[in-house]
């Protein structure tokens, strides 16, 4: 977010701190579905059952050392913009974030069909990387290797920022996002690790057809697989 100068008044700061710390614990409700952003204030929050998907590049340091800055800009622009386009294809993706070369999102998954659809989005992301790598290879650029992590659980949704300034953001706390990021870090880490890693709870909520595409990774205590989108993969096979 863009920041502009403002005078710091520590007395006002103390007032804001006290307002939050003195707030009622009852202001933090449990929800089975993600509530509207507009329902958040600086003094409330929600424990929400939802899913998180996290996608990150393996070996980004080598990528940065190998290419000029203009080439890096082209790689990252195409990678990030198209990943966001893929993630937005799920009707219930509520929040999207970019952290360095990682793209992650929070998805409202109150029904099992929503979990299945998010799994399909993960498959599209995998096939997108295959498509991008064909394009990069033809330009003489490095191909990308990524990890994809998906988890399901409860996360605390709060509004964080500077009250009265217009500078604020929705923040997700708890193990959900951290678990998705950790699973992502395992993706393609070794020869024994597949690209997509999903938590045990997420796997349990998948339909039987999708479960068959994954296998147990006992070392990571999750399920993993190399899952692709068939129509996108047809383009890969015809153009690779």
| 125 close to 84: Cβ distance less than 8 angstroms | no
Q: Is the pLDDT of residue 214 over 60?
A: yes
More confident site: 194 or 4: 194
pTM: 0.90
The share of the chain scoring above pLDDT 70, in percent, equals 92
| 228 close to 130: Cβ distance less than 8 angstroms | yes
Integer Cα distance of 237 and 225 in angstroms: 19
- Give per-residue pLDDT as tens, 83-131: 999 999 999 999 999 998 999 999 999 999 999 999 999 999 999 999 9
DSSP string of 8-33, one letter each residue: --HHHHHHHHHHHHTS-GGGEEEESS
Integer Cα distance of 227 and 120 in angstroms: 9
| 173 close to 158: Cβ distance less than 8 angstroms | yes
Please tell me whether residue 220 adopts helix, strand or coil conformation: coil
Q: Is the pLDDT of residue 1 over 60?
A: no
Integer Cα distance of 32 and 50 in angstroms: 8
The least confident of 60-74, 76-90, 95-109, 140-154 is 60-74
**Where are the domains positioned within the chain?**
27-239
Q: Is the pLDDT of residue 21 over 80?
A: no
- Give per-residue pLDDT as tens, 156-178: 999 887 666 666 788 999 999 99
Mean predicted confidence (pLDDT) in 67-89: 94
The share of the chain scoring above pLDDT 90, in percent, equals 74
Strongest mean pLDDT among 7-11, 14-18, 158-162, 216-220: 216-220
Instruction: Enter the tokens of residue 53.
Output: 């998907």
Q: What is the pLDDT of residue 7?
A: 66
| 87 close to 105: Cβ distance less than 8 angstroms | yes
Q: Is the pLDDT of residue 26 over 90?
A: no
The H or E element that residue 234 is part of is helix 230-239
Please state which of the four CATH numbers 2.60.120.1440, 3.30.70.3000, 3.30.2350.10, 3.30.70.1230 is assigned to the domain occupying 27-239. Answer: 3.30.70.1230
Q: What is the pLDDT of residue 59?
A: 84
| Helical packing angle, 69-87 and 112-139, nearest 10° | 160
């Amino acid at each position: 977010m863009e920041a502009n100068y403002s005078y710091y008044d520590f007395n006002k700061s103390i007032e804001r701190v006290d307002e939050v710390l003195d707030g009622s614990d009852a202001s933090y409700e449990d929800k089975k579905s993600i509530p509207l952003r507009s329902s958040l204030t600086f003094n409330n929050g929600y424990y929400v059952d939802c899913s998180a998907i996290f996608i990150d590049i393996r070996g980004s340091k080598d990528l940065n050392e190998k290419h000029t800055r203009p080439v890096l800009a082209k790689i990252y622009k195409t990678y990030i913009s198209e990943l966001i386009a893929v993630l937005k294809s799920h009707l219930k993706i509520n929040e999207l974030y970019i952290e360095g070369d990682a793209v992650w999102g929070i998805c409202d998954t109150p029904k099992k069909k929503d979990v299945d659809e998010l799994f399909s989005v993960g498959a599209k992301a995998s096939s997108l990387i295959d498509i991008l790598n064909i394009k990069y290879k033809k330009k003489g650029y490095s191909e990308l290797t990524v990890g994809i992590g998906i988890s399901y659980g409860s996360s605390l949704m709060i509004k964080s920022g500077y009250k009265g300034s217009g500078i604020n953001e929705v923040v997700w706390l708890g193990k959900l996002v951290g678990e998705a990021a950790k699973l992502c870090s395992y993706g393609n880490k070794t020869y024994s690790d597949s690209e997509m890693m999903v938590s045990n709870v997420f796997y349990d909520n998948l339909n039987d057809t999708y479960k068959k595409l994954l296998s147990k990774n006992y070392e990571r205590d999750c399920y993993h697989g190399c899952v692709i989108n068939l129509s996108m993969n047809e383009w890969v096979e015809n153009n690779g």
